[in-house]
RNA sequence: CGGGGCGUAGCGCAGUCUGGUAGCGCGUUCGGUUCGGGACCGAAAAGUCGGAGGUUCGAAUCCUCUCGCCCCGACCA
């Protein structure tokens, strides 16, 4: 049976000829990879196992993430610093739970300069240890506290199984590390930064999240507790999108980070750490994108609008280009940074004057996630209008609209804001539509049968045994114990698995 | 790291069973006609068939090893 390679996708609404994108329905993991390839976000490094090359369009998204988060960190009093990528191996072993958690995934440098090293270095999987070491040197008194630093860095974890952006051997992230005089202060910091992450996810990435606390078995290795934001992907799986840890005095003790209290006594500092990574880009893709390719909210888009000139004669071409450049210039002056942002976010416009047909350009820019397309032809020039098409039909615009050039420019910022809000609204709607409240084990098994998953609010007896049992039987994990205001109001009930008393429902799902 | 699948031109694939020195679609380059949703005609460039070794007169094809990717598991941002 001679099946033409292109047949299967062409029938499924996508109809791609050049770049093929599987449908989410047909093959979700393939779709994810296709979107990354076709939007030119990244590619597998190939020559280095488990690593990826983040291409310019993908890195530009990371830069957007960095810029906004960095401003938020500065606004909360944090300062950037940078610590070595290599950590003496002995450092890692100083905190018992930390070693246990990270030992299996360490890459170790044993030779350098042509000689075997006396003590090997590990490539940082995270920097609690080496930062603990420096904190012990920098902190002497309560007057030195709180100490609030952040570092933008790469880290390496030798994972068994990698997926582009979601889990790669090397990834980019930021790790905040703070030291406080009291546990109370530390806890406040943990919550504050979780709040920053939650706000960022929703306001900037238009990615709705559930804020909560990790169970003991899911928390960071070496932390007292971990807080997290969890996002729901379109296939129903959960993605841990950010974490904020209360390290207590664990690393303080391990690295002897002591300070003199106001009363003159000596005490160990209370530390926190918190981070988000390039994984956010994976979450961004799986939150908004569709079968035609990447969809980006304006605040994440490296390119906000593309102008496609339409013409027949050279005279028309020249006239259209003049208008296109005029519009581009006008839009480029607009700044869509949030009201009190400490940075500016100017509109980026591309005039696509390549000598190929307009239709081909439409598809290409759609694949790459550009929010707004402007078609500009002789008829438009005659009427002083532009033809506008949004990447997804929403209240910001649907189908092709014809708007006067002046009005289009005057309302462009509002159009993007509406589009941004609409993407968040749509994502929230999807989440709400998928959220379920389950009370019986039969319902639970049906909900998570096969590779199905969703956000399920269920009662849990609070024991690690039950949690492990559920995971073993269904692959479902407790994503978090929700914070106040997240999920259903706390009501006592009985555990969905054990039938024992439960104080409240927790969020369960299969996870990336 | 276990099970399965796969690596052939930039992308998607055929060819592998049954060895004979590489092909298709799209893309790319050049010329022309086109141009408001993936154009058409003509010409052309592009592959050490993932890598190494072996069998053979001859290997994309058979054998061994190795690297990498994808899916499912165990482990994790």
Q: Which of residues 321-350 of A touch strand B (CB under 7 A)?
A: none
- In this structure, are A493 and A410 located in the same domain? no
Query: Could you give the C-alpha distances from A331 to A119, A380, A406, A500, in angstroms and in order?
Result: 57, 18, 11, 61
Using DSSP, state whether A98 is helix, strand or coil. helix
- The 10s digit of each residue's pLDDT in A399-451 is 999 999 999 999 999 999 999 999 999 999 999 999 999 999 999 999 999 88
- In this structure, are A217 and A162 located in the same domain? yes
- In this structure, are A451 and A375 located in the same domain? no
Q: Which of A369, A388, A423 corresponds to the end of one domain?
A: A423
The integer distance in angstroms from the CA atom of A34 to the C1' atom of B7 is: 17
CATH number at residue A448: 3.30.110.30
- In this structure, are A283 and A326 located in the same domain? no
- In this structure, are A102 and A201 located in the same domain? yes
Residue A28 contacts residue A21 (beta carbons within 8 Å): no
Residue A506 contacts residue A254 (beta carbons within 8 Å): no
Q: H or E element: which one contains A100? A: helix A96-102
Domain residue limits at A267:
52-287
Nearest in space to A293 (alpha carbons), one of A15, A8, A59, A60: A15
Contacts of A46 (CB under 8 A, 6+ apart): none
Local structure of residue A290 (DSSP, 8 states): B
Q: Is residue A95 part of a domain?
A: yes
Query: Could you give the C-alpha distances from A489 to A202, A311, A479, A506, in angstroms and in order?
Result: 21, 59, 17, 11
What pLDDT does A429 receive? Answer: 97
Q: Report the distance separating Cα A419 and Cα A425, nearest Å.
A: 10
Residue A391 contacts residue A295 (beta carbons within 8 Å): yes
- In this structure, are A217 and A363 located in the same domain? no
Nearest in space to A269 (alpha carbons), one of A95, A144, A353: A144
pLDDT at A15 > cutoff 80: no
**Average pLDDT in the A291-301 region?**
96
Q: Report the distance separating Cα A297 and Cα A68, nearest Å.
A: 14
CATH number at residue A336: 3.40.50.800
**Average pLDDT in the A48-74 region?**
95
Residue A124 contacts residue A87 (beta carbons within 8 Å): yes
- The 10s digit of each residue's pLDDT in A113-162 is 889 999 999 999 999 999 999 999 999 999 999 999 999 999 999 988 89
- In this structure, are A311 and A270 located in the same domain? no
The integer distance in angstroms from the CA atom of A135 to the C1' atom of B9 is: 55
Q: Report the distance separating Cα A388 and Cα A393, nearest Å.
A: 11
pLDDT at A9 > cutoff 80: no
Q: Is residue A20 part of a domain?
A: no
Torsion angle of the four alpha carbons A144, A148, A152, A153, in this order, in degrees rounded to the nearest 10 = 60
Q: Report the distance separating Cα A294 and Cα A366, nearest Å.
A: 7
What pLDDT does A114 receive? Answer: 87
What pLDDT does A341 receive? Answer: 85
What pLDDT does A8 receive? Answer: 30
**Average pLDDT in the A16-29 region?**
76
Q: Is residue A84 part of a domain?
A: yes
Nearest in space to A189 (alpha carbons), one of A308, A274, A299: A274
Q: Which of residues 133-152 of A touch strand B (CB under 7 A)?
A: none
CATH number at residue A119: 3.30.930.10
Determine how many CB atoms are found less than 10 A away from the CB of residue A242: 28
- The 10s digit of each residue's pLDDT in A107-120 is 999 989 889 999 99
Across A38-52, A151-165, A344-358, A474-488, least confident range: A38-52
Nearest in space to A331 (alpha carbons), one of A366, A356, A306: A306
Q: Is residue A32 part of a domain?
A: no
Angle at which helices A279-288 and A56-75 cross, to 10°: 110
Q: Is residue A240 part of a domain?
A: yes
Q: Is residue A38 part of a domain?
A: no
Q: Which nucleotides of B are covered by protein (CB under 7 A)?
A: 1-2, 10-14, 24-28, 34-39, 67-77
- The 10s digit of each residue's pLDDT in A335-381 is 999 888 889 999 999 999 998 999 999 999 999 999 999 999 999 99
Q: Which of residues 350-409 of A touch strand B (CB under 7 A)?
A: 355-360, 362-364, 366-367, 373, 375-380, 387, 389, 400
- In this structure, are A107 and A87 located in the same domain? yes
- Residue A19 binned pLDDT confidence (cut-offs 50, 70, 90): low
Nearest in space to A293 (alpha carbons), one of A21, A7, A18: A21
The integer distance in angstroms from the CA atom of A476 to the C1' atom of B18 is: 49
A311 touches strand B (CB under 7 A): yes
- How many domains does the structure of chain A reveal? 3
The integer distance in angstroms from the CA atom of A2 to the C1' atom of B17 is: 17
DSSP-derived pairing of the beta strands A79-80 and A147-156: parallel
- In this structure, are A389 and A461 located in the same domain? no
- In this structure, are A171 and A262 located in the same domain? yes
Q: Report the distance separating Cα A190 and Cα A273, nearest Å.
A: 8
Q: Which of A423, A447, A467 corresponds to the end of one domain?
A: A423
Report residue A336 as tokens.
Answer: 């869509």
- In this structure, are A82 and A229 located in the same domain? yes
Q: Is residue A3 part of a domain?
A: no
A15 touches strand B (CB under 7 A): yes
- In this structure, are A247 and A344 located in the same domain? no
A49 touches strand B (CB under 7 A): yes
Cα angle at A98 between A96 and A101, to 5 degrees? Answer: 110
Q: Does the CA dihedral A425-A429-A432-A435 come out positive or negative?
A: negative
Q: Which of A287, A312, A343 corresponds to the end of one domain?
A: A287
Q: Is residue A15 part of a domain?
A: no
């Amino acid at each position: 049976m001679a099946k033409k390679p292109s047949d299967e996708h062409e029938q499924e609404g996508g109809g791609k000829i050049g770049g093929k994108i599987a449908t989410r329905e047909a093959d979700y993991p393939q779709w994810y990879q296709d979107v990354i390839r076709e939007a030119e976000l990244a590619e597998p490094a190939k020559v280095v196992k488990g690593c990826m090359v983040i291409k310019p369009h993908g890195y530009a998204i990371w830069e957007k993430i960095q810029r906004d988060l960095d401003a938020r960190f500065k606004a909360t009093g944090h300062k950037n610093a940078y610590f070595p990528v290599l950590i003496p191996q002995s450092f890692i072993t100083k905190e018992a739970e930390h070693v246990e958690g990270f030992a299996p995934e360490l890459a170790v440098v044993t030779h350098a300069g042509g000689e075997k090293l006396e003590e090997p270095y590990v490539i940082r999987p995270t920097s609690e240890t080496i930062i603990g070491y420096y904190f012990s040197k920098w902190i002497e008194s309560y007057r030195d506290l709180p100490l609030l630093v952040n570092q933008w860095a790469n880290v390496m974890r030798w994972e068994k199984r990698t997926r582009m952006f979601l889990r790669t051997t090397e990834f980019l992230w930021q790790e905040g590390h703070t030291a406080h005089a009291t546990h109370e202060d530390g806890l406040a910091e943990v919550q504050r930064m979780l709040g920053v992450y939650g706000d960022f996810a929703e306001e900037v990435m238009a990615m709705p999240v559930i804020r909560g606390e990790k169970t003991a078995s899911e928390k960071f290795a070496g932390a007292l507790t971990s807080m997290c934001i969890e996002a729901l992907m379109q296939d129903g799986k959960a993605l841990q999108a950010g974490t904020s840890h209360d390290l207590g005095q664990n690393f303080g003790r391990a690295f002897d980070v002591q300070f003199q209290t106001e009363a003159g006594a000596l005490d160990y500092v209370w530390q926190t750490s918190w981070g988000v990574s390039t994984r956010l880009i994976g979450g961004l893709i799986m939150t908004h994108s569709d079968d035609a390719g990447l969809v980006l909210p304006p605040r994440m888009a490296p390119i906000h609008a593309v102008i496609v000139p339409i013409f027949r004669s050279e005279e028309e071409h020249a006239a259209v280009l003049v208008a296109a450049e005029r519009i581009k210039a006008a839009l480029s002056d607009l700044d869509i940074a949030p009201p009190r942002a400490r940075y500016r976010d100017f509109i980026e416009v591309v005039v696509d004057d390549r000598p190929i047909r307009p239709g081909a350009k439409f598809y290409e820019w759609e694949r790459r996630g550009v929010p707004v397309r402007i078609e500009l032809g002789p008829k438009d020039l005659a009427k002083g209008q532009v033809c506008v098409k949004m990447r997804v039909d929403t209240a910001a615009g649907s189908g092709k609209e014809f708007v006067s050039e002046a009005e289009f420019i005057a309302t462009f910022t509002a159009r993007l804001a509406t589009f941004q809000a609409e993407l968040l609204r749509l994502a929230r709607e999807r989440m709400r539509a998928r959220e379920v409240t389950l009370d019986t084990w039969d319902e639970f098994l049906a909900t998570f049968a096969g590779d199905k998953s969703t956000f399920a609010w269920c009662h849990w007896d609070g024991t690690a045994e039950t949690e492990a049992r559920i995971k073993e039987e269904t692959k479902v994990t407790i994503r978090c114990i929700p914070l106040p205001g997240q999920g259903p109001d706390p009501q006592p009930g009985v555990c969905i698995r054990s039938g024992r008393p439960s104080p409240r429902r927790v969020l369960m799902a299969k996870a990336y």
